[in-house]
Amino acid sequence: MVNEEKNFSAQEVVIRAQALRDGGADVNQVADLLARADAQAANYGIGIILDGHGRPMPTSTELMAQTLRAGEAGAEATYLSSKTLHGQLLPQVLNWQRIPKQYWDNFLLVTPSDAGTGAVNTAVQMYLMMSSKISALAVEELSWPVYSSIAASNRIGFQSFGLQDPAIAGPNVLTVMQAAPHNSTGYVCPSKIIQARAESAAERGLPIILDRAYPGFENAGMLASQGYDAVMQGSCEHYLLPFLQTGCSFAVALSPTKAFRSFSLRPCGLTLVYEPDEQKRKLLADAANTINRGRGSAFEHPASRGFIRSLVENLPALELEHAQTLRRLADAQKLWQKLLQGHPLAPAFAAEYAGMFRNLLAAENSEETFYQAHIYPVLADNRCRINVTGIPLDEIQAQAHIDVFARLLSL
């Protein structure tokens, strides 16, 4: 896998990577930009489901068709809004998440204009409007870097807690927890820890935000034997049911980006808010309306209108495409497990880990070696984040890549 092109210099790529970082590019952008400049690149840094040939899986056919229809409708230059569909939208989202019907009356739904970031940020802003005492945002260690930007933009502090910490943060701190495989390590939080966190939130009367960018991804391996419904049902029971059963207030931040492969369309996110107290729920709804008006989210992008209409009219088609995403992920994880059998990195693909990413320790000065092998993961602070779907279907090529990872990375 060592590049033999005379004009290629891994050292020059390292220099370019540093220049990109110095220029303000985040670590994810750096990996992608470097890979795009190398014709032989294996892009393990991009945050998109890859097809086994180094290419992103195709954008959702259902969402693309609905977005095109929404765009054509917009040619009439009239004010267009999906607000009239929201009454039908909420039950469809709850259905997709397999949330038991006895809890439905206590939910409200917001559709922020941005997907994952917007869904989380909207929940943060709603709870800040409900309580002026919130002074900081607390997230699990090694989490998505954008959380710190969300805290800074809302002028509150930022802190982290351990992946296995059973208690949520202290008074006046708003907690964000991954309610799917952890982004960016792939860690699947055990049931007992989730239960402890739910009880802690209920006892303290504190809301909690459940970031669910990868719903069902932890169960991708059981898709073939048990089916999509079982995958999503199990995911709800593991990550959401403990919070529902304790009766605490929480928000679920959902994004279509990975589940439905809508990255190129960038439709709206979904912020589900659970509040058992009717008066507080009304106040939260008022807060959501204020936030949406303040950022202009009442004016929808055609892709958002298309996504909302797809959820309302054709949820089975979206679920089928979600299942295709899970199937690719399951195949990739299975190949990693096979080729790493007996290696010290193998535990990163055991039952405790799942989902799109792994975040491992990188050997000192490993960056140039990766680039020399045409491999482009996300590298930062002596850690390496891998998009596991970047693994090629060709086992000889896959083994060559894994040999590089196995030599340079550790748990």
pLDDT by residue (tens digit) across 164-218?
Answer: 999 877 789 999 999 999 999 999 999 999 999 999 999 988 899 999 999 999 9
* Strand partners for 160: 139
* Average pLDDT over the chain, rounded to an integer: 93
341, exposed or middle or buried, with CB in 10 Å at 0-12, 13-18, 19+?
A: exposed
Which of the following CATH numbers is that of domain 62-319: 3.40.640.10, 1.10.579.10, 3.40.50.720, 1.10.287.70? Answer: 3.40.640.10
Which of helix, strand or coil describes residue 14? helix
The DSSP 8-state label assigned to residue 60 in this structure reads: P
Instruction: Give tens-digit pLDDT for 54-77.
Output: 999 999 999 999 999 998 887 776
Provide the pLDDT confidence category of residue 293 given band limits of 50, 70 and 90: confident
Which of helix, strand or coil describes residue 363? coil
Task: Return all residues near 318 (Cβ < 8 A) that are at least 6 apart.
Answer: 60, 62, 63, 96, 260, 310, 311
Contact 25, 32 (CB under 8 A): no
Higher pLDDT, 155 or 167: 155
User: What mean pLDDT comes out for the span 306-333?
Assistant: 97
pLDDT given for residue 264 in this prediction: 86
pTM: 0.94
- Structure token pair of residue 47: 């945050």
CA angle 104-271-26, nearest 5°? 155
Pairwise CA distance, residues 258 & 33, whole Å: 20
The DSSP 8-state label assigned to residue 353 in this structure reads: B
Using CA of residue 404, residue 339, residue 350, residue 330, what is the dihedral sign? positive
Amino acid sitting at position 338:
K
Amino acid sitting at position 313:
E
In this model, does residue 401 exceed pLDDT 80?
yes
Contact 265, 67 (CB under 8 A): yes
Contact 46, 35 (CB under 8 A): yes
Task: Return all residues near 73 (Cβ < 8 A) that are at least 6 apart.
Answer: 80, 302, 305
pLDDT given for residue 298 in this prediction: 60
- Structure token pair of residue 126: 């709603």
Question: Domain boundaries in the chain?
Answer: 1-47+365-380, 62-319
